[in-house]
Amino acid sequence: MMVVFFAYFALMSMAAAVLTVALRNPVHCGLALLALLLHVSGLFVLLNAEFLWAVQVVVYAGAILVLYLFVLMLLNLKTEERYFHSTYLYFLVPTVLGSLYVLALLFKSPYTGAKGNAPTSAVLQEGDTYAIGMKMFSDYLLQFEIVGIFLLGAIIGAIVLAKTPKPIGGRANGDL
C-alpha cells in the first residue's frame, strides 16, 4: 500500500513539475505548480512529517501560490508565441545527460550514516509537531530568530519595492 501511494505521489509530482516548466499559459503553469506542491506534501506524509505536510499546504499552496497568481493576474500577461529561449536545445541535451549520470550515481550510493536520536517510534509517540517544536525551541532557537528577522526584512523590502513611486519634482510639472 505504501508503494502504491509513493508511486502515485512521485509520478504525479514529476509530471506536474514537467508541466510547470513546459506549459505555455502562465496561469496553467501556476496551477501545475499547485499540483506539484500538493503531491510533494503527500510524500511528506509518507515520511511521517505531518507538521511539514500542514506547513506545505498552508504556506506553500495557500500563501505563496496565491501570491504568484495575484501577480499573474495583476500583470495581465499575454501568452507569448516563443516562450522558450531560442537555444534551449543546447541546455536540454547536456542537462538530461548529466541528470542520467547523477541518477546512476545516486542508485549506487549506500546511504549509510550515523543515526540520530529520533527514531520513528519515538516521534510517533508524541507526534511529529511535538518533536519539531521541542527541537526548534531548544537547539535551533537562534536559527528561528534569524528566520524571523529575515522575513521582516523581506516584508519591508517587498513593500518598499512595490510602492508606487512619488513623481519626481512633485506636481509642478503638471504632466504627472
Interface residues for another protein in 54-73 (CB under 8 A)? 55-56, 59-60, 63-64, 67-68, 71-72
Interface map 95-134 toward another protein (x if CB under 8 A)? xx-xx--xx--xx-x-x-xxxxxxxx--x----x--xx--
Cα distance between residue 142 and residue 17, in whole Å: 34
Beta carbon of residue 129, minimum distance to another protein (angstroms, whole number): 10
Cα distance between residue 157 and residue 8, in whole Å: 40
* Between 74 and 172, CB nearer to another protein: 74
Map grid coordinates 536545445 to a residue. Answer: 89
Among 141, 145, 150, 167, binds another protein (CB under 8 A): 150
Beta carbon of residue 137, minimum distance to another protein (angstroms, whole number): 11
166 touching another protein, by CB under 8 A: no
Q: Residue 23: which of 89, 84, 74, 91 has the closest Cα? A: 84
* Between 114 and 172, CB nearer to another protein: 114
Backbone angle region of 76, left / alpha / beta, with phi > 0 → left and psi within -120 to 50 → alpha: left
Q: Please calculate the CA angle 48-118-147 and round it to the nearest 5 degrees.
A: 75
